[in-house]
Amino acid sequence: MDEFMQAAIAQAQKSRLEGGIPIGSVLVKSDKIIGQGHNKRVQDGDPMTHAEIDCLRNAGRIGNYKGTILYSTLMPCYLCAGAVVQFGIKKVVAGESANFPGAREFMESHDVEVIDLDLDECKQMMDEFIQNNPLLWNEDIGE
Ligand SMILES: [Zn+2]
């Protein structure tokens, strides 16, 4: 598997072990990981700390986002897609979108290339979490 998606999955698993939602993300530039993070909504009691936001925060101020690629184990939601469009990140790689369709069309309508790897590993991890924690998940997606 793609080493960067593997790193995003490791972040998701870390969140799960912490009692949080298993979504992980990494930011890549010039074939190097320059930031990584995971959903910390449960851990921090912060509804804004989605995996992609945590990842972008951890990358810090990088000047501009030219040539960066954002990886996420799950298709980014509108909040995170908004950050992608705002910062000019032009490529997003998602582990899956079967459990959550996210904001793919929104990103594509802003010239972001979106790739969905449709990975069983990501689908199973999310599906198992949603089955066991439906209320937590519904809170995450605003339902
Ligand atoms: Zn999000």
- Which of these is catalytic: 3, 52, 96, 143? 52
Q: How far apart are CA 19 and CA 33, in angstroms?
A: 25
Tell me the CA–centroid distance for residue 50 and ligand 1, in Å: 5
Indicate the pTM of the whole model: 0.95
Q: Is the dihedral of CA 60, 66, 71, 72 positive or negative?
A: positive
For 88-110, the DSSP string reads: T--EEEES--SS--TTHHHHHTT
Q: How far apart are CA 98 and CA 42, in angstroms?
A: 23
Tell me the CA–centroid distance for residue 43 and ligand 1, in Å: 16
Q: What are the pLDDT digits (tens) for 51-70?
A: 999 999 999 999 999 999 99
Tell me the CA–centroid distance for residue 99 and ligand 1, in Å: 14
For the question of residue 52 being annotated catalytic, the response is yes
Q: What are the pLDDT digits (tens) for 84-99?
A: 999 999 999 999 999 9
Q: What's residue 100's pLDDT?
A: 93
